[in-house]
A and B are shown apart, each in its own frame.
Chain A
């Protein structure tokens, strides 16, 4: 149980294009999902908290117009990197809160984004 999928796993795009990453909780409902970015040899950096049916909460320094988050259902959140540039190249990971009581986040397998 508590499986989270992420799609695509790999994406290469040209500078200036937009990229959408999907995060799905497969066997549970997640009222809250999280989007992280991970730089090489570092721990995860929280970008934003996504709540179903409401606007995402962005961490300081994260451009909300650059990283659009939509959480349309209890099992799906999407992150769109708009007008991507090479500095946006990174590893993006989502997680879903399986149960508010357990306070546990389960993670997707991540998406490697390379912007040329």
Chain B
């Protein structure tokens, strides 16, 4: 079975600090995709960053970057220079080549304090 685990239910940091959210997954598929989605209080689900498993280079999007460790099946999200607008639920998700279904982690509630 494919699973995604987020072990941090809630985190809080001061504005401008760097924070890392952890995510591990389990799969037997050889090709797959990993995602971080953000869900702010508005509840709109927003794609933050995407990583293709066959790419060794870690994906980056401005202040957001991932540390993708394929052998360890780890996919952490680093947010640099955190801003108040980063306050949200963050979900790690996985999709394998064999089907369309996104497998979701339980989410991490991130609070950025002023």
Contacts and interface: CB of A to CB of B under 8 A. Distances in A.
B51 to A, nearest CB: 11
Interface stretch (B18-26, B73-81, B104-112): B104-112
**Interface residues of A, dominant DSSP:** strand
Interface residues of A, number: 20
A43 B107 contact: yes
B83 to A, nearest CB: 21
A102 B50 contact: yes
Given A93-B45, A109-B43, A43 B105 contact: yes
Nearest to B35: A104
Secondary structure type dominating chain B contacts: loop
Contact of A107 (B45, B97, B105, B106): B45
Interface in A38-93: 38, 42-44, 46, 49, 91, 93
Contacts, number: 46
A94 to B, nearest CB: 10
B43 A103 contact: no
Interface residues of B, number: 20
A58 to B, nearest CB: 12
Interface of B: 33, 35, 37, 42-47, 50, 91, 95, 97, 100-102, 104-107
Given A43-B107, A44-B102, A102-B50, 18 more contacts: A34-B100, A38-B43, A43-B104, A44-B91, A44-B104, A93-B43, A103-B33, A103-B95, A104-B33, A104-B35, A104-B50, A106-B47, A107-B45, A107-B46, A109-B42, A110-B43, A110-B44, A110-B45
